[in-house]
Chain A
């Protein structure tokens, strides 16, 4: 991950063990598929605590880690790196549908 992307705000993320789906840790210490519900650590020390907490709750997920995010106006959380943006919002092109016979 690029170095200059370690902002002050961080969330904890992982992939769910049973199906690999991207999840974030919420304030209640549960894993959620919604980034907007993720617990946000607002300075370095809080980040460490968040990561420890994520690791303690890691039974149903794989290898938790911290993701640098920014808070946009209105409190919307957005990952800084492209990789994490794609993890959060999915493919950046339209995958073909099962019943499709032609591409658009």
Chain B
């Protein structure tokens, strides 16, 4: 088994997770014996990642900062076979959801997870949720520092935090270490962006109060530059202010973004800084030694320099059009010469976005072992990533992915759709998401056409909770329910790219399910007619406004 290049649990971490499994086993036993009511039990199962959906319980497994070893992925496949229906769904929060778990089996499934140092802690409930990070971390050519070191530090601090387990509402933290933000830090409760100041020191920009959901907001800068070692003290100060003053009278006004909005970012900053001043010299300060010990575990694999120009790759590029397209859309630059970051698309034409069968998971684990130092990543776009692939291995990786059905050259393209589970699974949904995604995906399946259309992000949510991030889709699709009929509201102009983060605006009246594909087609046609060279869909929309899109769509539907 290959050595991992990210944080490994030690006996402390293992003990804690094991004790937590024991505690949950006892809680499940008490629930099944009738000693706990559903009202008392629900928050307990939720903090262990267990939801009740329409047809069954769902277990949401945390994949901290989206990093997985091949061994862990194989275990996930095994758990999905043994306790579920043999497939899983990768989510926009770098989690894996199993949709058919039995309550009776849940403690065993959690114990199996613990065997590979994984858990489902804090994937639900009003606590600090699983911390997310740039999925290219540790490999990206543009990276300043690996954000996962800090994500791991935050993971530990936030795990079973006694003060912050019953916050007004859930709390999501995302971290990026690159100027190209791939972690969407401006739409999280707290976003952390590592950057280098004029003095050459690396620190965090702390962004607060972003988020999607019912009241989407772009986060505001709370602190422009925070010395790294003070991170936990600053987070604790911010969470304490939120825990004390965040609203609890209205579920929909309880996120920190509403607090920031209501008191203003200046007052929020003053409160946080006052609290921080009290605790900054306390026990939460991080010693260099502690940080270095964790950082060492994220030391990248040794990648011998190799040639970037490989004859066999070039030959195949000329010969195989799909491979050439795949190199363009699914392969990103690595910081070590002769290497690349490969994104495997979990969005083959017509498939439920982000789903993988047990066999596919095992196949991906094999590819990771053979070609990517045993490591994979989950992206918030619901794809899987091989972070360290030698360029000369690209044809072999492409072929292996093709056998699994995950070699679609569509990353960032119109069929790389993000979709939440929607009404097929979710108890909160108004409308279905997955079948809509499937129809759009089938309609635009032609790869050459997709590449001609270029970068276009479609994001679909089955209700206002916005798990499919529709607000920040170039084209956002929101399912609504009108007198028992599913309708879909379209919005244009959303974006998560750093510096350009924007929320989409609604195009007009919602359309019926059978018109969604036509409507998207009309939007695309409008763009193709109006674009000037080099313009993406979202740029054209920004330049010409919504009107031409609107006219074309509503002439049709």
Q: Which residues of A does B touch, CB under 8 Å?
A: 2, 4-5, 15, 17-22, 59, 62-63, 80-83, 86-87, 90-93, 95-104
Q: Pick from B80, B352, B486 the residue with the most CB of A within 10 Å.
A: B352
Bound CA–CA A103/B423 (angstroms): 21
Secondary structure at the A interface, as helix, strand, loop or mixed, is loop
Q: Which of A4, A5, A62, A90 contacts B55 (CB 8 A)?
A: A90
If A82-B423, A82-B486 touch, whether A93 touches B352 (CB-CB below 8 Å) is yes
B86 touches A99 (CB 8 A): yes
Nearest-neighbour CB distance to chain B for A94, whole angstroms, equals: 9
From residue 22 to 40 of chain B, which have CB atoms closer than 8 A to chain A? 31-32, 34, 38
B404 nearest CB neighbor, chain A only = A101
Residues on B close to A: CB < 8 A? 31-32, 34, 38, 52-57, 80-81, 85-87, 101-104, 348-352, 355-360, 363, 403-405, 423-425, 429, 432, 434-435, 438, 481, 483-484, 486
* Residue of B102, B349, B357, B424 touching A20 (CB-CB under 8 A): B102
B80 near A22 with CB under 8 A, answer no
A49 → chain B, closest Cβ, in Å?
Answer: 23
Query: A100 with B359: in contact, given A20-B103, A92-B435, A93-B435 (CB under 8 Å)?
Result: yes
Note all chain B residues with C-beta closer than 8 A to A82. Answer: 423, 484, 486
Cβ B104 vs Cβ A92 within 8 A: no
B99: nearest chain-A partner, CB-CB: A95
Q: How far is it, in angstroms, between the C-alpha of A93 and the C-alpha of B55 when the chains are bound?
A: 14
- Please give, as numbers and ranges, the residues of chain B lying within 8 Å of A81 by CB-CB distance: 484
* Given A20-B103, A96-B352, A103 contacting B405 (CB threshold 8 A): yes
Closest A residue, CB atoms, query B80: A98
Give every chain B residue within 8 A of A91 (Cβ-Cβ). Answer: 55, 424-425
Please name all residues of chain A whose beta carbon is closer than 8 Å to the beta carbon of B85 when the two chains form the complex: 95, 98
Least CB distance from B280 to A in Å reads 46
- In the assembled complex, the Cα of A59 lies from the Cα of B37 at a distance in Å of 9
Find A18's partner among B103, B349, B481 (CB 8 Å cutoff): B103
> Once the chains bind, are B81 and A98 in contact (CB under 8 Å)?
yes
Take A19-B56, A82-B486, A93-B434 as given contacts and tell me if A59 and B34 are in contact as well, using a CB distance cutoff of 8 Å: yes
Contact B355 A63 (CB under 8 A): no
Given contacts A100-B360, A102-B405, is CB(A22)–CB(B350) below 8 Å?
Answer: no
Contact A19 B103 (CB under 8 A): yes
Q: B407 → chain A, closest Cβ, in Å?
A: 11
- The closest CB in chain A to the CB of B363 belongs to A101
Contacts of B87 in A (CB 8 A): 95-98
CA of A18 to CA of B352, assembled, Å? 28
Known contacts: A21-B56, A86-B424. The answer to whether A2 contacts B86 by CB under 8 A is no
Interchain CB contact (< 8 A) of A99 among B101, B104, B352, B358: B358
Contacts of A17 in B (CB 8 A): 31-32, 103
Instruction: Determine chain B's interface SS by DSSP, over half rule.
Output: mixed
Residue picked from B102, B357, B405, most chain A C-beta under 10 Å: B357
Residues of chain A within 8 A (CB-CB) of B352 are 93, 95-96
CA A20 – CA B31 in complex, angstroms?
Answer: 14
Q: Other CB < 8 Å A-B pairs besides A20-B101, A99-B86, 5 of them?
A: A20-B52, A21-B55, A91-B55, A98-B85, A102-B404
Q: Shortest distance in angstroms between A25's beta carbon and chain B's nearest beta carbon?
A: 17
Most-contacted residue by chain B among A5, A62, A81 (CB, 10 A): A62
In the complex, the answer to whether B54 meets A103 with C-beta atoms within 8 Å is no
Asked if B358 and A98 make an inter-chain contact with CB atoms under 8 angstroms apart, the answer reads yes
Q: How far is the CA of A5 from the CA of B484 in the complex (A)?
A: 8
A19-B52 Cα distance, complex, nearest whole Å: 9
What is the CA–CA distance of A2 and B481 in the complex, to the nearest angstrom? 8
**Given the complex of chains A and B, what is the CA–CA distance between A90 and B102 in angstroms?**
17
Interfacial chain B residues near A101, Cβ < 8 Å? 357, 359-360, 363, 403-405
- From A21, A87, A92, A98, name the one whose CB has the most chain B CB atoms within 10 angstroms: A98
* Residue contact B357 to A96, C-beta cutoff 8 Å: yes
> Complex: how many Å from CA A20 to CA B85?
14
Cβ A87 vs Cβ B54 within 8 A: yes
Contact: B350 with A20, CB < 8 Å? no
Whether B484 lies near A20 (C-beta < 8 A) is no
Query: Given A17-B103, A92-B435, A86 and B54 touching (CB < 8 A)?
Result: yes
Complex CA gap A103/B350 in Å reads 8
* A-B contact list, 10 entries, CB within 8 Å: A18-B32, A19-B56, A81-B484, A83-B54, A90-B55, A92-B435, A93-B352, A96-B352, A99-B86, A101-B360
Q: Which of B31, B55, B87 has the most CB atoms of chain A within a 10 A radius of its CB?
A: B55
B355 touching A20, Cβ below 8 Å:
no
